[in-house]
């Protein structure tokens, strides 16, 4: 079993691990030479199934195993993120699977040069402060430092992961491109906070208090609202984009689109978001939603698919992708019943 | 009856703050030893594995320094012990502020009150602030006997020194929660700082094991490096971090002296009349690598010899007595790549505007990045958002003719209500309004 790769895009990889880490401490990582999959299945809350093309994070990848050259690992995300952070200013970084004392680990080897602000001070009694230490800088090597970070991992047998399946969902009623996530996050955080403050002395579990209602229609509207005994607030976005379905991707082609739930939803509701009709609604936990929104740091395009009173599925497309080998993170948020 | 008076500039007082923060990481109490010529703070940690001494020179560090111990003549001393936290609440941060903002002082006067005709013995600190405000603090102290850890540098054949700023970069790579630091002098012209934790458990727990971080530094990055190749020396990573962070506040070089594992190691640094010495317990070669019989090659640079003091010749001769342990496997695996760094530039550098005339400030960029990062983090709803409340009572209402109840009235009111409200009180605590 061998895995070795150069990290092509350290920033993306670091942000990815940070986003995933907010949902759960452990990730199932499936490595092959075609793609890398990160899956987070927390005990409760949102699941993430991310499929990344190799070149969105790695370069010169080498994967070899007895099981069809696929390696399954369980990786602690906090450690991985921490290790990757030390590579942010690196000139190069490599990752490989290795064993130490019979324990598997991912070894991250980072080549870095010290930044200029850490140059050695000039002589101790350098009073004028203008005596820049250039001699030292050029005289004492190029300050190349090699940092190795060893992240403990667990190798998962093919049988262990065979039972893990990506959730299946019926065709969505509404699909819509979400507004910038930072905007969405700051508003949902504010809502959640207000709901928590309002009912601090009241009854009910915390989960029932922080329940956000998220709804969208096929006319470019998104509505977020929260309701408690004392308050009811909502924000409505209009003029968002409902992407057209691609007949080649829908079962049944053109006919399939005609029968698609979203086609029916197009007949209902209005573009100003005032109509009561045509909304597909889900109830989600505000705090869990805040964790999901953490993916915004990757800066990708997000399409939300609403299955009315059932589930919300987010597709996050990494920005630098070029059509063919797309990297997509899929978030499955299930809806609470009323 | 001791006489101890000294005066500090704001800069010196702020240095006192920094060193107390550092000593506070070793012990809850700090011991003071004042002599005619110098003033020393010492701290010993609870497991007695680390001893710290910071010596302040009477002439260089202080604006004015006077110490006449009650007995002992020229070698006499005054010793006592105080809570580090108590001292820190007096020597706060930002005592020195060139812009003269809140908290800045003009000078600091310290005296010890220990006379037979006075009932209280106190350590008195007067902070003379701007606009004629004087804050006086009276601290209690405990009379103790101060002991010092002895360290014989002539036995410590291994020696290195390095800019504290550079080492500070290295410690930032270390994972949180690690315990040990192994400083290893390799035979390939590299020195490895490795932070790790002794194995704790197996099975599922293995994933909770902290990161193992090894930072391999070229020995030419050291200002001086004279260490027997193959020497492993293990100390506490927490102590090392505390020392490096403090050394960096002084922007000096950190010097290390040691002989072999299980013998003490000393870190030393200082400038402008302030000298810090930390004597730490070390533990053995944790890898337990078998010793080979090949003598250590004399690779440790002509450069070191040319810079180092004369004693270096002695050191090199002794060095060959100790054979090095074999290289651990983890390093051997990597050695092929050591001198083949990738040519790729870091992505953050690539994003910089090539047209810009300004060199980006790395720290500034990092701060911006941190801000950005925290904005994306899930919000911590436990964190209370409160309005600031100035409890300093500086704006005393009595200055203005305002109405107030008679003294007796207000005291009875106070004793009536058993419930004490915080200045920022929850709405839910107000009874009867709603």
Judged against a pLDDT cut of 50, whether residue B245 lies above it is answered with yes
> What's the pLDDT at A328?
92
Q: How confident is the model at residue A188 (pLDDT cuts 50, 70, 90)?
A: very high
Q: Is the pLDDT of residue B344 over 50?
A: no
The percent of residues in chain A predicted with pLDDT above 70, rounded, is 86
Query: Quick check: A91 and B341 CB within 8 A?
Result: yes
Q: What are phi and psi of B235, to 5 degrees?
A: -130, 180
Interface residue A284 vs chain B (CB under 8 A): no
CB contact under 8 A, A141 and B221: yes
- What confidence score (pLDDT) does residue A227 get? 87
Contacts of A193 in chain B (CB under 8 A): 379, 381, 385
Share of chain A above pLDDT 90, in %: 55
Count the residues in chain B: 434
A66 to chain B, any CB pair closer than 8 A? The answer is no
> For testing the chain A interface, which of B222, B306, B381 should be mutated: the one with the most A CBs within 10 Å?
B381
CA distance A181 to A298: 10
Predicted confidence (pLDDT) at residue B327 exceeds the cutoff of 70: no
Percent share of chain B, pLDDT over 70: 66
* Min distance B400 CA to chain A CA atoms (Å): 38
Q: B22 lies in a domain?
A: yes
| A-proximal residues of B, 189-218, CB under 8 Å | 190, 199, 204, 206-218
Whether the per-residue pLDDT at B417 is higher than 90: the answer is: no
User: How near does any CA of chain A get to the CA of B98, in Å?
Assistant: 17
Contact B379 A91 (CB under 8 A): no
Task: Retrieve residue A125's tokens.
Answer: 């009694």
Where a domain ends, among B310, B335, B360? B335
Alpha helices in B186-336 (DSSP H): 237-250, 302-307, 312-319, 329-334
Chain A, 2 to 31: residues with Cβ < 8 Å from chain B are 6, 9-11, 18-19, 22, 26
What would the mean pLDDT of A257-279 be, rounded to a whole number? 87
Whether B54 is covered by a domain: the verdict is yes
Residues B48 and B185 in one domain: no
Q: Is A153 on the interface with B (CB under 8 A)?
A: yes
Residue of B250, B367, B376, B386 to mutate, interface with A, max A Cβ within 10 Å: B376
Examine the domain organization and report whether B170 and B130 are in the same domain. Answer: no
| Ranges of H-type helices in A62-113 | 77-85
Of the candidate ranges B184-188, B227-231, B241-245, B425-429, the one whose mean pLDDT is the lowest: B425-429
Total residues found in chain A within this entry: 338
Q: What is the pLDDT of residues A13-28, one digit of tens each?
A: 999 999 999 999 999 9
B23/B43 Cα distance (integer angstroms): 6
Q: Residue A10: its chain B contacts at CB < 8 A?
A: 346-347
Edge-to-edge order in the sheet of strand A103-113: A58-64, A2-7, A90-100, A103-113, A144-152, B212-218, B190-196, B180-185, B232-236
B296, pLDDT greater than 60:
no
Kindly tell me if the per-residue pLDDT of B165 is higher than 80: yes
Least confident piece of the model among A155-164, A175-184, B399-408: B399-408
Instruction: Check CB contact under 8 Å for A148 and B213.
Output: yes
Give the range among A137-146, A279-288, A304-313, B98-107 with minimum mean pLDDT. A137-146
Q: How many CB pairs under 8 A join A and B?
A: 166
Q: Across residues A290-313, what is the average pLDDT?
A: 93
* pLDDT tens digits along A302-329: 999 999 999 999 999 988 656 556 789 9
Q: How confident is the model at residue A199 (pLDDT cuts 50, 70, 90)?
A: low
Residue A22 CB-density burial (10 A; 0-12 exposed, 13-18 middle, 19+ buried): buried
Q: B359 pLDDT exceeds 70?
A: no
Both structure tokens of A134? 């250039």
Strand positions, DSSP E, B290-414: none
Residue A276 has pLDDT above 50, yes or no: yes
- B318 φ, ψ (degrees, to nearest 5): -75, -25
CA distances in angstroms from B265 to A166, A311, B236, B259, listed in the order given: 56, 61, 11, 7
Assess whether B166 and B75 both reside in one domain.
Answer: no
What is the extent of the structural domain holding B114? 3-139
Instruction: Share the mean pLDDT of chain B.
Output: 74
pLDDT of residue B428: 59
Least confidently predicted of A222-236, B29-43, B272-286, B339-353? B339-353
CB neighbour list of residue B294: distance below 8 Å, 6 or more residues apart = B323, B324
Judge if B118 and B254 occupy the same domain. no
Which of the four pLDDT bands, split at 50, 70 and 90, describes residue B236?
very high
Instruction: Return the percentage of chain B with pLDDT > 90, whole number.
Output: 41
Provide the chain B residues 371-410 that lie in CB contact (below 8 A) with chain A: 372-373, 375-379, 381, 385
More confident residue, B40 or B434: B40
**Beta carbons of A6 and B252 less than 8 Å apart:** no
> Same domain, yes or no, for B254 and B308?
yes
The confidence score (pLDDT) of residue B206 equals: 79
Asked whether residue A126 carries a pLDDT value surpassing 50, the answer given is no
Q: What is the pLDDT of residue B113?
A: 84
As a whole number, mean pLDDT of residues A214-235 equals 91
Number of domains in chain B: 2
CATH of the domain at B317: 3.10.150.10
Interface of A with B in 301-330 (CB under 8 A): none
Is residue B72 domain-resident? yes
* Distance (Å) from the alpha carbon of A65 to chain B's nearest alpha carbon: 20
Q: What is the pLDDT of residue A205?
A: 64
Q: Which of A83, A182, A287 has the CB atom closest to B381's CB atom?
A: A287
Q: Over 50: is that where the pLDDT of B408 sits?
A: no
**pLDDT tens, B301-325?**
333 333 333 333 333 333 333 444 4
User: Are B202 and B283 found together in one domain?
Assistant: yes
Contacting A residues, span 168-207, partner chain B, CB-CB under 8 Å: 182, 185, 189, 192-193, 196, 200-201
Give the residue from A318, A323, A314, A337 showing the smallest Cα distance to A47. A314
Assigned token pair, A108: 């991250």
| Same-domain check for residues B170 and B108 | no
Q: What is the pLDDT of residues A72-115, one digit of tens each?
A: 999 999 999 999 999 988 899 999 999 988 889 999 999 988 65
> Does any domain span residue B312?
yes
> Residues B98-131: pLDDT tens digits?
776 777 888 999 998 887 676 778 899 999 988 8
Confidence band, pLDDT 50/70/90 cuts, at residue B329: very low
Is the CB of B341 less than 8 angstroms away from the CB of A92? yes
**Statement to judge: residues B66 and B205 lie in one domain:** no
Tell me the per-residue pLDDT of A38-75, one tens digit each, with 9 for 90 and over.
999 998 889 999 999 998 899 899 999 998 999 999 99
**How many angstroms separate the CA atoms of B26 and A281, rounded?**
57
Residue B312 contacts residue B303 (beta carbons within 8 Å): no
pLDDT above 50: residue A32:
yes
Among A4, A22, A76, A86, which would you mutate to test the B interface (most chain B Cβ atoms within 10 Å of its Cβ)?
A: A86
Confidence (pLDDT) at B297: 36
Q: Provide the b/e sequence for B108-138 (b: ≥16 CB within 10 Å).
A: bbbbbebeeeeeebebebbbbbeeeeeeebe
Q: Are residues B120 and B169 in the same domain?
A: no
**Contact (CB<8Å) A290/B168:** no
Is a pLDDT exceeding 60 seen at residue A221?
Answer: yes
pLDDT higher than 70, residue B432: no
pLDDT of res. A254: 82
Same domain, B202 and B233: yes
In the prediction, which pLDDT does B395 show?
A: 43
Kindly list the residues from chain B whose CB atom is less than 8 angstroms away from the CB atom of residue A151. Answer: 211
Domains of chain A: 2-162 (3.70.10.10), 174-334 (3.70.10.10)
Q: How confident is the model at residue B326 (pLDDT cuts 50, 70, 90)?
A: very low
Report chain B residues whose CB lies below 8 A from the CB of A116.
Answer: 362
Q: Please give the mean pLDDT across all residues of chain A.
A: 85
Euclidean distance between CA atoms B200 and B207, whole angstroms: 11
The verdict on a CB contact (< 8 Å) between A146 and B212 is no
Looking at the fold, whether B318 and B206 belong to one and the same domain comes out as yes
Whether residue B168 and residue A182 make contact (CB cut-off 8 A), yes or no, is no
Q: Report chain A residues whose CB lies below 8 A from the CB of B433.
A: none
Q: Are B181 and B188 in contact (CB under 8 A)?
A: no
Q: For residue B227, is it within any domain?
A: yes
CB within 8 Å: A89 and B348 = yes
Which one of B139, B166, B195 terminates a domain? B139
Q: Domain of B123: which CATH number?
A: 3.70.10.10
Res B104: pLDDT:
83
Residue B343 has pLDDT above 60, yes or no: no
User: Given pLDDT bands bounded at 50, 70 and 90, which one contains residue A116?
Assistant: very low
Residue B431, chain A, CB below 8 Å: the answer is: no
Confidence of residue B390 (pLDDT cuts 50, 70, 90): very low
From chain A, the residues in CB contact with B214 under 8 A are 147-148, 150
Of A74, A111, A153, the CB nearest to B342: A111
Instruction: Give the per-residue pLDDT at B422.
Output: 54
pLDDT at B387: 44
Closest-CA distance, A77 to chain B, in angstroms, reads 10
Res. B201 pLDDT band, cuts 50 70 90: low
Whether residue B168 sits in one domain with residue B128: no
**Residue B196 belongs to a domain:** yes
- Inside any domain, residue B231: yes
Does B386 have pLDDT greater than 60? no
Q: What is the dihedral of CA B152, B154, B156, B157, to 10 degrees?
A: 180
Across the interface, of A79, A124, A144, the residue whose CB is closest to B271 is A124
Q: Which of the residue ranges B168-182, B287-301, B410-424 has the most confident prediction, judged by mean pLDDT?
A: B168-182
In a domain, B25, yes or no: yes
């Amino acid at each position: 079993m061998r895995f070795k790769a150069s990290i092509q895009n350290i920033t993306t990889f670091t942000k990815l691990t940070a986003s995933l880490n907010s949902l759960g401490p452990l990730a199932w990582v499936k490595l092959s030479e075609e793609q890398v999959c990160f899956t987070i299945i927390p005990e409760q809350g949102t699941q993430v199934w991310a499929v990344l093309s190799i070149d969105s994070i790695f370069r010169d990848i080498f994967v070899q195993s007895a099981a069809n050259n696929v390696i399954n690992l369980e990786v602690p995300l906090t450690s991985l993120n921490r290790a990757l952070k030390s590579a942010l200013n690196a000139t190069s970084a490599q990752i490989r699977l290795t064993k130490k004392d019979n324990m598997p680990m991912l070894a991250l080897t980072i080549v870095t040069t010290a930044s200029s602000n850490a140059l050695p001070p000039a002589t101790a009694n350098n009073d004028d402060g203008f005596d820049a230490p250039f001699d030292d800088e050029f005289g004492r090597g190029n300050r190349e430092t090699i940092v190795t970070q060893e992240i403990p991992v667990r190798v998962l047998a093919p049988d262990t992961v065979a039972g893990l399946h990506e959730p299946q969902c019926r065709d969505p009623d509404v699909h819509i491109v979400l507004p910038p996530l930072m905007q969405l996050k700051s508003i949902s955080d504010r809502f959640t906070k207000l709901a928590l403050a309002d009912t601090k002395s009241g009854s009910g579990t915390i989960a029932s208090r922080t329940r956000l209602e998220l709804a969208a229609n096929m006319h470019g509207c998104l509505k977020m609202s929260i309701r408690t005994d004392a308050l009811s607030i909502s924000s409505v976005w209009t003029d968002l984009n409902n992407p057209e379905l691609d007949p080649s991707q829908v079962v049944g082609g053109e006919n399939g689109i005609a029968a698609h739930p979203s086609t029916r939803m197009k007949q209902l509701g209005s573009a100003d978001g005032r109509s009561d009709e045509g909304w597909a609604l889900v109830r989600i936990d505000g705090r869990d939603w805040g964790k999901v929104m953490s993916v915004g740091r990757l800066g990708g395009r997000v399409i939300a698919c609403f299955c009315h009173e059932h589930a919300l599925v987010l597709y996050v497309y990494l920005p630098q992708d070029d059509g063919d080998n797309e990297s997509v993170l899929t978030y499955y948020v299930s809806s609470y019943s009323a | 009856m001791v006489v101890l008076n000294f005066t500090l500039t704001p800069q010196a007082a702020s240095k006192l703050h920094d060193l107390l923060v550092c000593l506070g990481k070793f012990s809850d109490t700090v011991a003071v030893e004042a002599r005619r010529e110098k003033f020393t703070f010492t701290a010993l940690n609870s497991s007695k594995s680390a001893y710290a001494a910071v010596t302040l020179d009477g002439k260089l560090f202080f604006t004015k320094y006077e110490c006449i111990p009650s007995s002992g003549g020229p070698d006499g001393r005054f010793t006592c012990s105080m809570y580090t936290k108590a001292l820190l609440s007096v020597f706060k941060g930002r005592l020195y502020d060139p812009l003269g903002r809140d908290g800045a002082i003009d000078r600091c006067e310290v005296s010890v009150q220990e006379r037979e005709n006075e009932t209280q013995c106190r350590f008195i600190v007067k902070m003379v602030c701007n606009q004629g405000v004087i804050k006086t603090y009276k601290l209690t102290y405990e009379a103790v006997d101060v002991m010092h850890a002895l360290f014989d540098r002539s036995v410590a054949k291994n020696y290195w020194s390095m800019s504290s700023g550079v080492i500070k970069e290295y410690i930032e790579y270390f994972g949180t929660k690690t315990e040990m630091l192994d400083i290893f002098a390799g035979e390939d012209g590299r020195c490895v700082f490795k932070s790790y934790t002794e194995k704790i458990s197996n099975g599922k727990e293995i994933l909770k094991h902290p990161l193992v971080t090894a930072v391999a530094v070229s020995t030419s990055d050291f200002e001086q490096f004279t260490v027997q190749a193959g020497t492993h020396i293990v100390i506490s990573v927490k102590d090392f971090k505390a020392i490096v962070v403090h050394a960096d506040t002084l922007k000096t070089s950190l010097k290390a002296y040691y002989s072999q594992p299980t013998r003490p190691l000393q870190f030393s640094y200082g400038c402008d009349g302030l000298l810090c010495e930390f004597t730490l317990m070390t533990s053995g070669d944790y890898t337990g690598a078998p010793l080979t019989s090949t003598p250590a090659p004399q690779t440790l640079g002509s450069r070191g010899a040319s810079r180092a003091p004369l004693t270096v010749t002695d050191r090199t001769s002794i060095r060959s007595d100790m054979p090095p342990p074999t290289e651990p496997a983890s390093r051997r695996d990597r050695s092929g790549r050591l001198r083949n760094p990738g040519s790729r530039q870091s992505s953050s550098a690539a994003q910089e505007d090539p047209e810009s005339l300004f060199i980006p400030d790395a720290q500034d960029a990092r701060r911006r990045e941190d801000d950005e990062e925290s904005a994306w983090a899930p919000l911590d709803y436990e964190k209370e958002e409160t309005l600031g409340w100035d409890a300093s009572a500086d704006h005393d209402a009595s200055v203005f003719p305002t109405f107030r109840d008679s003294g007796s009235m207000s005291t009875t009111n106070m004793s009536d209500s058993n419930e004490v409200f915080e200045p920022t009180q929850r709405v839910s605590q107000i009874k009867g309004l709603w």
